[in-house]
Amino acid sequence: MVVDDQTIVRAGFAALLAAQEDITVVGEAGDGREAVRLAERNRPDVVVMDIRMPGMDGIEATRHILARPGAEDVRVLVLTTFDVDEYVYEALSVGASGFLLKDATAEELVSAVRVVARGDSLLAPQVTGRLIREFTKQRRNRPQAPSALGTLTARENEVLVLIAGGLSNGEIARRLVVSEHTVKTHVARVFTKLGLRDRAQAVMLAYESGVVVPGEGVG
C-alpha cells in the first residue's frame, strides 16, 4: 500500500511498484486516517508511508496500523528527507521497519519494498548516523539499559552491537568468522529475549540503552 498526500508522487510510486511481477498494490491513501482504514480492510504486507501529511501524519498512522490485532507481519517503510531525521526516529520508535529517502531511484524503491517484505530492515548508514546524533542531542539524560539485556550471552551482545552498526547477517558472519546460519540463530535469540520484531527495533534499543554510543563505531 502506498501512502502520500501528493497525488502525483503517490500515483508514480504505485505505478512503479505495480509494474513489478512480484508486487501487487492493494491500495493508495492520501493521509494517515485513510491509510489506517485501508490497511484494516486490505491487510497489506508492506506500507510505503510518507511522514508529513495533513491531519493524521505518518507516525500516528504507523502506530495505529501496527497496533491492530493481526498486524505482526505488516512492515512499514517510511519516506523521508535529510531535514526531518527527528520524524524518522519517531516512526522507527513506533515500529516502522526502515526508511527511504524521497529522492531515491526507482530501483532503490523497489528494492526497499522487497527488503522489508522479507522481514529485514532498511537503515541507510548515512541517514542513521544523523538520526542517532540528533537523538542524543535531544535526550541528554543517559537512559538505563533494559533488564532483558542482562539475559544476552556475550556473543549475542556482540551480535546486537554489530546489528546496530548496520551490518547484514553475511557481514556479521564474516566479522565473527562463523556461518551465516549461526548468525541467524543468534539474531533470532536476541530478538526473542529482547522482545524485538526486527532489526530496526534492535538498532533503536542498542542506542537508547547505551549499548552502542554514537561516534564509537562497532569495532
According to the model, what pLDDT value does residue 196 have?
Answer: 85
Instruction: Give the model's confidence band at 75: pLDDT under 50 very low, under 70 low, under 90 confident, else very high.
Output: very high
- Segment 97-111 mean pLDDT: 85
Q: Are 210 and 143 in contact (CB under 8 A)?
A: yes
Adjacent-strand bridge partners of 26: none
According to the model, what pLDDT value does residue 34 have?
Answer: 96
Distance set, CA 197 to CA 95, 153, 207, 213 (Å): 8, 19, 16, 22
Q: Which residues, at least 6 apart from 158, have a Cβ–Cβ distance to it below 8 Å?
A: 176
According to the model, what pLDDT value does residue 187 have?
Answer: 92
Q: State the Cα–Cα distance between residues 98 and 30, nearest whole angstrom.
A: 20
- Segment 9-26 mean pLDDT: 95
According to the model, what pLDDT value does residue 201 have?
Answer: 80
The three grid cell numbers given for residue 152, joined into one nine-digit string: 544476552
Smallest Cα–Cα separation from 100: which of 74, 124, 65, 126? 124
Q: State the Cα–Cα distance between residues 51 and 35, nearest whole angstrom.
A: 12
Q: Which one has a higher pLDDT value, 178 or 98?
A: 178
Adjacent-strand bridge partners of 177: none
- Segment 93-101 mean pLDDT: 82
According to the model, what pLDDT value does residue 125 have?
Answer: 53
Q: What is the DSSP letter of 122?
A: B
According to the model, what pLDDT value does residue 181 have?
Answer: 93
- Segment 99-120 mean pLDDT: 85
- Segment 206-211 mean pLDDT: 80
Q: Which one has a higher pLDDT value, 60 or 70?
A: 60
Q: State the Cα–Cα distance between residues 118 and 97, nearest whole angstrom.
A: 11
Instruction: Give the model's confidence band at 98: pLDDT under 50 very low, under 70 low, under 90 confident, else very high.
Output: confident
The three grid cell numbers given for residue 212, joined into one nine-digit string: 552502542
- Segment 17-39 mean pLDDT: 95
The three grid cell numbers given for residue 9, joined into one nine-digit string: 508522487
- Segment 8-36 mean pLDDT: 95
According to the model, what pLDDT value does residue 159 have?
Answer: 94
One fold for 2-136 and 143-208: no
143-208 is a CATH 3.10.20.30 domain:
no
Instruction: Give the model's confidence band at 130: pLDDT under 50 very low, under 70 low, under 90 confident, else very high.
Output: low
Torsions phi, psi for 79 (to 5 deg) = -100, 140
Structural class in CATH, domain 2-136: alpha beta
- Segment 182-206 mean pLDDT: 87
According to the model, what pLDDT value does residue 157 have?
Answer: 93
Sequence-ordered alpha helix ranges (H) in 72-179: 85-93, 106-117, 125-138, 154-164, 169-176
According to the model, what pLDDT value does residue 13 have?
Answer: 93
Q: State the Cα–Cα distance between residues 143 and 120, nearest whole angstrom.
A: 26
Please state the domain extents for the chain. 2-136, 143-208
Q: State the Cα–Cα distance between residues 55 and 36, nearest whole angstrom.
A: 12
